[in-house]
Structure 1
Amino acid sequence: MNLDLTWRLLKGGGRRGLLGTWLTLAAVAVSTALLLFAVAANFAFAARADRGAWRTPVPAEGRPAVAVEAARFDFVRDRAITVVDLAALDPAAPAPPGMPRFPKPGETWLSPALAELARTLPAGELAARWPRQAGVLGDAALVHPDELVAVVGRAPDDPEMTAARSEDWIAGRPPTKVADLRGRTSEDSEAYQVLTLIASVLMVVPLLVFGGAAARLTVARRDQRLAALRLVGATPGQVVGMTVAEAVIVAFAGAVAGVAAYALALPLLARIPMAGGPWYAGDLWPGLLVVAGTLVAVPLLVGLSAVAGLRRVVVSPLGVAKRETPPALRFVRVLALLAALAAVPVLGMGVSAGVIAAVIALAFLCVNLVGPWVVALVGRIAAATARRPARLLAARRLIDDPRSAWRTVSGVALTGFVAGFIGLLSPGVFSGDEGPPQLRLAVPAGQTAEVAGQARERLERAGVTATVAESKKTVVAALGSSADAAGVDRARTALAGLVPGHTASTEADDQRFGTQILADVRVGTVVVLAVSFLVAIASAGITAASSILDRRQTYALLRLAGTPLEVLDRARRTETLLPLAVMGGGAIAVGMICAVPLMMGAMNATGAITLLACVVLGFGGVAGAGALSRPLLRSVTADPAPRPD
């Protein structure tokens, strides 16, 4: 009976009633698709870390060693090459990931991207570094499809496996005896996973808020219908059942549409460069279990949010039918935010990533909790100072239903939190001014003169013009200002293997990993802000249209009473932009407060520009969303005989 009546109510709402249902479905679809992306990013980085773990060897530590493993970085065309040296200590040594067997001494296996470069570039620039190429690595050995990796087979007594190497992970890994090739997560992978977790919190919380708000779209129309049913004899259980059924039906359809949209977007998302390259599409697919859980959790969240708004309908249906102003919101909401901010100083105490994410999420949620209270306060101040009809109408609306007004601007206001947090942590840029290229090669003490002489001979045979100088533990080959990228790579190839375990590198090479991390943080910033703004603008547009549908009878009656359409439209803009200015600025301030314990210095120009751009985009997006819904306002006020739902 309840399901049949719910279905009749859904279909019987008329054209504008169905429009409200479609708005809810669209909101849930957008939330679901972006929620899957935020969650899948964590799985994707974990998958990358698992595939790259074998390059970070775990010492045998008392267990029988089957191989010796070492790693270092080489470079070509301003790209890093991971070179893994392997020597078998046991004939039954297991095959490394992505290879059919353990490499024999002298053999080299290249990743597909590196093999393609070796075929494309002249041999003297790359391929000559590994004369015996035995095969191509499979995907299981690679972090991403475009990664440059070379696996070189060695004998256990090869100088590459016995020479001392740097203990700095940026330079490589020293030779290590291992019992297997499983390895462990590297430091850079752990750093990326921590950053991804924080970014996910910054994306997921607005999505959850948006998803919950989707359940409250067209809330006034639904409350009026349910209150009427209560007054004619429907029980509280029947009202709750119909509300849950309606919300879950629409939310499930939206969730399915969101999953489909995410699946279709996977090829495009896989092209986003991060940590050196794009993604395998499979890494960005969170798996059937997560998808199934999302299809259950999203409708459940929407259903619970819908039920949470039924208290007045169940307890006081007559008050809803008469459109009485609900009780004022309590100041305890502000106390919750202050309590959350009191926990922020723990972020600078070296706590775990999970604690950092939890504190940020708590502050985020408290901003959403305090939003309606601030909106009601803004409404009371605006009503007391109003001198024009539009401002008075807007102020009364803010006082009468601050929750609905907050839903319209909550997306952009919460994006202000993200912008404030990211703006304070946005990295600057390396300011070094590199001159003519110079290749530096670390040399064991007492061997610089010998190595310098060999370097001159090798460079001369390769046709590279360079001035070779020596210091206590370094040989420097200055190539001159006329050297191009091809000349630098010929010099690298000529010096390859000159000092076992060491690579000739430029100053730019030494900064490459720091530059890459900064570039990845910027890409992550763009992604997080793009997701946040997509949610914010979608939320503003959908809730603005829904608000008009909720109040179409009121708007039509005001229009019949002689209120100009321009006054109604100005009042609608005022009730949006006024709380947005207050709560947007407050959310930015809270975000900056949460970022202070994590920042390493003052805000730089990049962060200031990011923050300013977010403010402009936020206000522009909300204003644009309001303008798009103006034809709908004109339509609902054109009805000469408005009827209630």
Structure 2
Amino acid sequence: MNLALTWRLLKGGGRRGMLGTWLTLGAVAVSTALLLFAIAANFAFQARADRGAWRNPVPASSGAVAIEASRYDFVRGRAISVVDLAALGKQAPAPPPGLPRFPRPGETWLSPALAELARQLPADQFAARYPHQAGVLGDEALIHPGELVAVVGRAPDDPAMTAARSEDWIVSQAPVRVASLAGAPSQDATNYQALAVVAGVLMVVPLLVFGGAAARLTVARRDQRLAALRLVGATPGQVVGMTVAEAVMVALAGALTGTVAYVLAAPLLARIEMQGGPWFAGDVFPPPWVFAAVLVAVPLLVGLSAVAGLRRVVVSPLGVAKRETPPALRAVRVVALLAALVMFPLLTRGAGVAIIGTALALVFLCVNLVGPWVVGLIGRITAGTARGPARLLAGRRLVDDPRSAWRTVSGVALTGFVAGFIGLLSPAVLDQPPAGPPQLRVLAPAGQVEQVARQARERLRESGLTATVKPDKSLVVATLGGAADDAALDRARTALAGLVPGRTPTTPSDDKRFGDQLLADVRVGTVVVLAVSFLVAIASSGITAMSSVLDRRQTYGLLRLAGTPLELLDRARRAETLIPLTVMGGGAILVGVFCAMPFMIGGMSTAGAVTLAGCVVVGFAGVIGAGALSRPLLRAVTADPAPRPD
């Protein structure tokens, strides 16, 4: 009975009633799609960590079956992950992922992209480094499509597997005896997973807030309707049941729409480059149980949020019907935020990523909790200091319903927190490559610097390259002369390959490549998180602004009947948004900056300052633009100002 009545009331709400339903559905769809993206990012980094784990060997306590070592090589300015493998014993161990068998001594397996480069480039620029190519690696061995990987088979007594290697983990990993090639996620992969968790919190919390707010769209219209039903005899249980049924029906349709939107957008999301390349299509699709959980959790959240707002309807339906101003919010909300800010530095000092993520989420939620209270305070100040009718109307509206006003600006305010947090941590401009002719450096064994330098001169001369080779402490430095381009540099790399077993000739740029890559990825992550946050913020502002007009259409109609100009109503509506936005947006940015301070290294970078300034401009422009979209709706609801029976 309740379900049938709910469906009838939902359909019988008229064109404007259905518009409110469509706004709620759209809000839930946006929230669901972006929630899936935030969750999928964590699974995607986990998938990469799992695929690359075999390159990070775990030493065997006993029963070693193979020796594994790794290093980096370079071609055309791109890094190559080189894994050296040697079987112990007569029986070959299980092969690493992506290989049909364990590599034999002397043979090489290349990733598809690297094999293509080997075919395109002259042999003296690359292929000569890895003769006897036996096949192509499968995708299971690669972190991302297009990754350059080489697996080289060695004998256990090969100098590359016995010689001492550099202690610099960026350049090489010393040979390790292993019981299997399962390995463990590298420290690099673990760092990316930690950053993904923090980014997920920064995206998910605003989405949950937005999803909960979606249940409160057109809340005044629904409360009036339910209060009328209570006054004619509906029981509290029937009111709650109809509310849950309506919210869940709309939310489920929105969640399904958002899921379909995410599935359609996934191929585009897979093109976002991180860790040196894009993603496999399967990486951006979380397990099926995640889709099922989201389709259950989102309608449940919307239903609970809708029920949470029914107290006045159930307890005092006459007050709702008479549009009495609800009691003021309590200042304990501010105490909760202050307590969270005091505890944040204590909780996050030396803590793991789970604690940091939880602390961020707590502060996030406290900012959302204190928002309506601050908006109500702003409304009292605005009304008390008003010198014109527009500001007076705006202030009285903020006092009358601070929760509704907060929903309009909460998206941008919470995005201000995100911008303040990650904007402050934005990396500075990456260093420019060193000027002058390219140099290749090889770390020589102790006492063999002169010998290695002599061999390097001979190899470069035999390759037809002009270079000056000089020893520099434990390094042998080869400076290429003439018009040295990428081709000449790769020829020099090939000529010097294997000069010192297990060690790779590198340029100064190669040695800091991975630090630069991490900074570049942090930049990409910052852009992605801010893009998601602003999409939520602008969608929230636009949808809630239109919903607010629908909620107050009778009030607007009565004001128009009293002779209030439409332009005055529009100015009051803009002031109702921009005044709390200025205060709460600025406050949220300061809270985000405060939370980022424990993680700062040095002062704020220019990139961070530009990010913050850009966020302020985009946030205000987005809210103003979203609010402007609701002006035609305001004109429409006041075109016929006669009071309506609903």
Which TM-score tier does this pair reach, normalised by the shorter chain?
Answer: over 0.9
Shift of 1:51: 0.6
Shift of 1:481: 6.8
1:140-219 matched pairs, under 5 angstroms = 140-219=140-219
Aligned residue type for 1:69 = E
SS at match of 1:105: coil
Q: Provide, for residues 92-148 of structure 1, a one-character-per-residue CA deviation record: whole Å limited to 9, x for no partner.
A: 311111000000001100011111111112221111110111000011111111111
Aligned residue type for 1:637 = T
Give yes or no for the alignment of 1:522 onto 2:528: no
Residue 20 of structure 1: aligned partner: 20
Shift of 1:189: 0.4
Distance 1:490 1:175 in 2: 27
Distance 2:622 2:597 in 1: 28
Distance 1:267 1:505 in 2: 36
* TM-score, structure 2 normalization: 0.99
Q: Given the superposition, is the C-alpha separation of residues 342 and 543 from structure 1 closer, same or farther in structure 2, using an over 3 Å criterion?
A: same
Aligned residue type for 1:82 = S
Distance 1:629 1:525 in 2: 31
Distance 2:433 2:442 in 1: 21
Give yes or no for the alignment of 1:643 onto 2:634: no
1:69-84 matched pairs, under 5 angstroms = 69-84=68-83
Q: Provide, for residues 49-102 of structure 1, a one-character-per-residue CA deviation record: whole Å limited to 9, x for no partner.
A: 0110010101111x2110000000001111110000000003131111100000
C-alpha contact (below 8 Å) 1:70/1:84 kept by paired residues: yes
Distance 1:499 1:223 in 2: 78
Residue 328 of structure 1: aligned partner: 328
Q: Provide, for residues 147-187 of structure 1, a one-character-per-residue CA deviation record: whole Å limited to 9, x for no partner.
A: 11000000000000001112332112100000000101101
Distance 1:341 1:597 in 2: 12
Aligned residue type for 2:536 = V
Distance 1:520 1:626 in 2: 34
Give yes or no for the alignment of 1:604 onto 2:611: no
Residue 284 of structure 2: aligned partner: 284
Q: Provide, for residues 474-532 of structure 1, a one-character-per-residue CA deviation record: whole Å limited to 9, x for no partner.
A: 11010137311111111111111111010000110011000000000000000000000
C-alpha contact (below 8 Å) 1:276/1:516 kept by paired residues: yes
Distance 1:329 1:6 in 2: 31
Distance 1:468 1:598 in 2: 43
1:583-622 matched pairs, under 5 angstroms = 583-622=584-623
1:415-564 matched pairs, under 5 angstroms = 415-431=415-431, 434-435=434-435, 436-480=437-481, 482-564=483-565
C-alpha contact (below 8 Å) 2:85/2:151 kept by paired residues: yes
Distance 2:379 2:9 in 1: 34
Structure 1 residue ranges (4+ consecutive) displaced by more than 3 angstroms after TM superposition: 430-433
Residue 402 of structure 2: aligned partner: 402
Specify every segment of 5 or more residues in structure 1 that has no aligned partner in the other structure, as ranges. Answer: none
Give yes or no for the alignment of 1:104 onto 2:104: yes
Residue 242 of structure 1: aligned partner: 242
Residue 227 of structure 2: aligned partner: 227
Aligned residue type for 1:564 = P
Q: Given the superposition, is the C-alpha separation of residues 4 and 497 from structure 1 closer, same or farther in structure 2, using an over 3 Å criterion?
A: same
Shift of 1:304: 0.2
Residue 138 of structure 2: aligned partner: 138
SS at match of 2:32: helix
Residue 87 of structure 2: aligned partner: 88
Q: Provide, for residues 255-306 of structure 1, a one-character-per-residue CA deviation record: whole Å limited to 9, x for no partner.
A: 0011100000110000000011100111111111010000000000000000
Distance 1:166 1:627 in 2: 62
Specify every segment of 5 or more residues in structure 2 that has no aligned partner in the other structure, as ranges. Answer: none
Distance 2:345 2:149 in 1: 42
Distance 1:209 1:161 in 2: 55
Q: Given the superposition, is the C-alpha separation of residues 365 and 644 from structure 1 closer, same or farther in structure 2, using an over 3 Å criterion?
A: farther
C-alpha contact (below 8 Å) 1:32/1:258 kept by paired residues: yes
Distance 1:118 1:628 in 2: 56
Distance 1:440 1:244 in 2: 69
Aligned residue type for 1:293 = A
SS at match of 2:375: helix
C-alpha contact (below 8 Å) 2:427/2:522 kept by paired residues: yes
Shift of 1:471: 2.3
* TM-score, structure 1 normalization: 0.99
C-alpha contact (below 8 Å) 2:433/2:509 kept by paired residues: no
Distance 2:289 2:128 in 1: 48
Aligned residue type for 2:81 = T
SS at match of 2:63: coil
Residue 630 of structure 2: aligned partner: 629
Aligned residue type for 1:595 = A
Q: Which moved more, 1:165-174 or 1:592-601?
A: 165-174
C-alpha contact (below 8 Å) 1:422/1:525 kept by paired residues: yes
Shift of 1:348: 5.1
SS at match of 1:153: strand
Residue 8 of structure 2: aligned partner: 8
Aligned residue type for 2:201 = V
Shift of 1:247: 0.2
Shift of 1:370: 0.2
C-alpha contact (below 8 Å) 2:348/2:356 kept by paired residues: no
SS at match of 1:68: strand
C-alpha contact (below 8 Å) 1:111/1:138 kept by paired residues: yes
C-alpha contact (below 8 Å) 1:219/1:550 kept by paired residues: yes
Distance 1:148 1:536 in 2: 39
Shift of 1:557: 1.4
Distance 2:411 2:474 in 1: 57
Q: Which moved more, 1:90-99 or 1:577-586?
A: 90-99
Aligned residue type for 1:249 = M
SS at match of 1:343: helix
Aligned residue type for 2:577 = T
SS at match of 2:469: strand
SS at match of 2:481: coil
Aligned residue type for 1:3 = L
C-alpha contact (below 8 Å) 2:251/2:298 kept by paired residues: yes
Shift of 1:347: 5.3
C-alpha contact (below 8 Å) 1:417/1:587 kept by paired residues: yes
C-alpha contact (below 8 Å) 2:96/2:102 kept by paired residues: yes
Distance 1:431 1:173 in 2: 26
Shift of 1:433: 5.4
Distance 1:42 1:471 in 2: 45
Residue 115 of structure 1: aligned partner: 115
C-alpha contact (below 8 Å) 1:347/1:598 kept by paired residues: no
Distance 1:288 1:149 in 2: 31
Distance 1:462 1:429 in 2: 38
Aligned residue type for 1:222 = R
Q: Provide, for residues 221-271 of structure 1, a one-character-per-residue CA deviation record: whole Å limited to 9, x for no partner.
A: 000000000000000000000000000000000000111000001100000
Distance 2:633 2:183 in 1: 60
- The percentage of counterpart residues that share the same residue type is 76
Distance 1:433 1:291 in 2: 45
Distance 1:144 1:440 in 2: 29
Shift of 1:432: 5.2
Distance 2:362 2:612 in 1: 22
